């Protein structure tokens, strides 16, 4: 289901989250968003997680985001229930934050 969802998003040029473990961005794009990305604040607090979602959102504002479904990378995964819960909390917080910012952008 995950790959079907990502493939559909990619066909539309609107992938919602480029993988943090393996993403490639144009250098001119990174230079253009560097300050906005590095100095992001939400509800007055500095943001320290969700880089992949934030960069994807900034890229979507400026164009399109596609996923290379045949790309292969390895990463470390949580090895305990506590680490898994912490990971999921981070991911869900960044999803919520970026969702709020996306909706705000339509207003």
Which pTM does this prediction carry?
A: 0.82
Q: Facing residues of 65 across strands? A: 14
Q: For residue range 70-104, what is the model confidence (pLDDT) as tens digits? A: 889 898 999 999 999 999 999 999 999 988 888 87
- At 11 the pLDDT is 86
Q: What is the pLDDT of residues 58-72, one digit of tens each?
A: 999 998 898 888 889
What are 26-63's pLDDT values in tens digits? 999 999 999 999 999 999 999 888 889 999 999 999 98
Convert 61-94 to b/e letters by CB count within 10 Å (16 or more is b).
eeeebebeeeeeeeeeeeeeeeeeeeeeeebeeb
Residue pair 95/53 in contact (Cβ under 8 Å)? The answer is: yes
Residue from 47, 55, 68 nearest 26 by CA:
55
- Judged against a pLDDT cut of 60, whether residue 107 lies above it is answered with no
Q: What is the largest CA-CA distance in the chain?
A: 41
Say yes or no to pLDDT of 10 above 90. no
Tokens describing residue 70: 């045949």
């Amino acid at each position: 289901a995950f790959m079907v969802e990502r493939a559909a998003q990619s066909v539309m040029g609107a992938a919602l989250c480029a993988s943090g473990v393996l993403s490639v961005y144009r250098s001119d794009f990174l230079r253009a968003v560097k300050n906005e990305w590095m100095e992001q604040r939400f509800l007055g607090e500095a943001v320290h997680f969700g880089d992949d979602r934030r960069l994807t959102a900034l890229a979507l504002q400026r164009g399109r985001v596609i996923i290379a479904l045949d790309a292969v990378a390895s990463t470390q995964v949580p090895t305990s229930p506590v680490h898994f819960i912490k990971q999921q909390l981070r991911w869900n917080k960044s999803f919520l934050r970026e969702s709020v910012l996306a909706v705000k952008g339509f207003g």
